[in-house]
Structure 1
């Protein structure tokens, strides 16, 4: 089968480039010689033509040690809440990296602020990059920074990464575990939900704890979306979605993006690349059953996790679609999962301020 065009709900390529900190890393991304899961050459080889490029302000204590996510059980210690000044500097720095990628790409990458922009990028054979935040620590409780970031192109926000902040509480990296851990949204979090609705910014539920999830469901007027999460019944890690949460997303006509991180796919919860594609297919089957054919998409977590070895990186995406084809998924459903359902939910969520949804 011909590989479909892919719009991906989550990658951490900007974080990888930010941590490297060199112009050489940006040049390598553009030249197709980068070490990560995504660069322009790998993306073009796998027909990855766009997605949400996450800004994740890293903690000074360092990144997650995936070796501490062994089979059978773990609880990863979470870093302390991030200082606003540190988060602001990292957020601005990573946004700047995406702008520099656009300038240096000779038209092969475009920052998109609407679905019309995405379609125009594809018509020009360019990657459609959408600015996303994972962890809103750079946004002040009065939301002044939100207006600045929206004007710069921000169209999607995960209120928290797993550490807590002024808006909400995240889920720890714990296996096995329910996501029902901790309190829900703060008053500032409620304001952020309503302001994002006003601006037409997508709210990503993937790292919220369960009480926060239900608070967003209560306050939002937009479809519920988890950009990179899987099925708790198949992998009982705190980051995955329960049957009740999936039912609420389905009722809202929302979308869940399949996370390729092996610790959120495997029954044993291990971050282990020796994971077959069939494990991914099991989660997709369960998501289609829970959400319907219009509610399932991809949220790879490329450059932010250990990916199944049969995929490897963005160039390996066709292997997933070949497996779905063998499994009996028709071409229409594969196209929906690859990009159609993302474009549909983004079109229903994004809007100009003051426009009816």
Structure 2
């Protein structure tokens, strides 16, 4: 079975002491080897803190939540970890289109949040490091765009618009997971390449700040982009496999099966859906969407990757 997972936190979990090579917690290189797999390997360069911002986030979520600040050192450390996996032969970092084929685990490096960039031209450095997926925001606003947690959703800034245009020309995918609605609409109007939302669900099925309403989904579809349905329990109507299937079917049946994929967020979540506890459960998911499994688990994401990559 071929599989693209649009979001896994391998490097972040490694820094927390989780065995992401041979472990059995949600996902690992060992488990991913069960498939012909391509994983968007997240770089999450953020540091938790307790301050007024954490009090604000707690009020938003309804549960104690620490605020987070970006760290360039963490960015470098996580990139180095992925290249360590590459040098040791555990996985292959995608450097160009030729690396997308073949057996084994392939890693497409993905920066979650553009906060570590000093200005939009820093993405030339991302290109040199083969970081081919760029999330504009995480759970707070930055100089490029507003996030889904914004108190004032100002959308894409002028510098953010330049970032999107340059990313298009360099073959870097724009990822709108965690983005505010105005940001989603603005980016979809600016981008000349398909965009992705690597890990989110449908707001019509569960009202949640991380989920997408129909206007956002329509905008993403118009770019020929994809939405990675996710395993984040709080974004699901019910915390089980059936709810994941419901989100996939909603997008597929309402907008077209070519616009839906999966982005588990495994190794970045503390709670997992019942019946979808780890990446091996993708086999059960495939049975539940029989007839569309090749599109959802591989073909759609592969199309968007190849439409974006320039080399």
Matched, 1:19 2:12: no
Partner of 2:30: 41
What secondary structure is seen at the aligned counterpart in 2 of 1:234? coil
What secondary structure is seen at the aligned counterpart in 1 of 2:106? strand
Match of 1:335 among 276, 286, 294: 294
Q: Which runs of 5+ in 1 are unaligned?
A: 173-178, 268-274, 353-357
Decide whether aligned partners of structure 1 residues 37 and 292 sit closer, same or farther in structure 2, where only a CA change above 3 A counts. Answer: same
- Distance in 2 (CA, whole Å) between partners of 1:76 and 1:252 is 37
The number of residue pairs the alignment matches comes to 303
Rg: which structure is higher? 1
Partner of 1:307: 272
Partner of 2:94: 112
Partner of 2:86: 102
Are the equivalent residues in 2 in contact too, given 1:18–1:97 (CA < 8 A)? no
For residues 75-94 of structure 1, the aligned pairs below 5 Å read 79=67, 82=69, 87-94=71-78
Matched, 1:164 2:129: no
Are the equivalent residues in 1 in contact too, given 2:191–2:223 (CA < 8 A)? no
Are the equivalent residues in 2 in contact too, given 1:171–1:181 (CA < 8 A)? no
Are the equivalent residues in 1 in contact too, given 2:240–2:276 (CA < 8 A)? no
Q: Which runs of 5+ in 2 are unaligned?
A: none
**TM-score, normalising length: structure 2:** 0.90
Are the equivalent residues in 2 in contact too, given 1:321–1:334 (CA < 8 A)? yes
- Distance in 2 (CA, whole Å) between partners of 1:181 and 1:217 is 19
Match of 1:129 among 98, 102, 107: 107
Matched, 1:321 2:286: yes
Segments of 4+ moved more than 6 angstroms: none
Q: Which moved more, 1:194-203 or 1:311-320?
A: 311-320
Report the CA distance between 1:79 and its aligned residue: 2.0
Matched, 1:255 2:226: yes
**TM-score, normalising length: structure 1:** 0.79
- Distance in 1 (CA, whole Å) between partners of 2:105 and 2:254 is 31
Report the CA distance between 1:75 and its aligned residue: 6.8
For residues 291-302 of structure 1, the aligned pairs below 5 Å read 291-302=255-266
- Distance in 2 (CA, whole Å) between partners of 1:142 and 1:6 is 32
What secondary structure is seen at the aligned counterpart in 1 of 2:137? coil
Specify which structure has the bigger relative contact order, considering alpha-carbon pairs within 8 angstroms and separated by 6 or more residues.
1
Report the CA distance between 1:225 and its aligned residue: 1.5
Cα deviation 1:156-198 (Å, max 9, x = unaligned): 00011011222112112xxxxxx99521122221221111011
Partner of 1:266: 237
Partner of 1:242: 213
What secondary structure is seen at the aligned counterpart in 2 of 1:137? helix
- Distance in 1 (CA, whole Å) between partners of 2:16 and 2:40 is 19
Are the equivalent residues in 2 in contact too, given 1:277–1:323 (CA < 8 A)? no
| C-alpha RMSD of the superposition | 2.3
Cα deviation 1:119-159 (Å, max 9, x = unaligned): 1xxx2x2101000000111111152x321221111100001
What secondary structure is seen at the aligned counterpart in 2 of 1:294? helix
